[in-house]
Amino acid sequence: MEPIILIGGGGHCISCIDVIRSENKFEIIGILDIPDKIGITILGIPVIGTDSDIPNLIRKCRNFLISVGQIKSSVKRYAIYDLVKKNNGKLPVVISKRAYVSPLAFIDEGTIIMHNALINAKARIGKNCIINTGALIEHESIIEDFCHISTQAVVNGQVTIGKNSFLGSNSMIANNISLPDNIIVAAGACVLKAPQETGTYFGNPAVKMNRK
């Protein structure tokens, strides 16, 4: 098995560990987190340093997975991705043995496909995405870079989700809809027509949240 280091030691990290172990392709040799966590273990894996150690660690392990979660904003995950890439690290695709990914689909670097997710034919998943437990990405849909498709979310056929977006648990996007970048769809929301602007959408049918 190839060695890999996880970056981020919170709740999402725990799920990532389980997925990586199911794939049986990588050996997790350590986790990076805040200084106060150095020396502790998470599911038996030691926290060995912080993000600032990435340039030195790459000398012995080039594979990294960003295990920081993404709720609403992708800023933190993007910053880590940029740091790994600048130091010539690798961000492999991780796919659960319990997921189904069509051989006709495309998955870009740094993305994790979690348990019971389904990626159908000719779907395209961008860089550093989270396709969470039980999510469905239907035929010919495009998930652009740095998106989180949360648990049991449904993206129907020929949909495009703009980069840096978040779909909450049990949300649903109807066929042939394009969502702009940086959109948030709340848990349980149903998007039945294309939003005209970025923002947070909730309800069934989904409407933009008025923050006034």
Provide the annotated active-site residues.
139
Chain Cα centroid distance, residue 170: 16
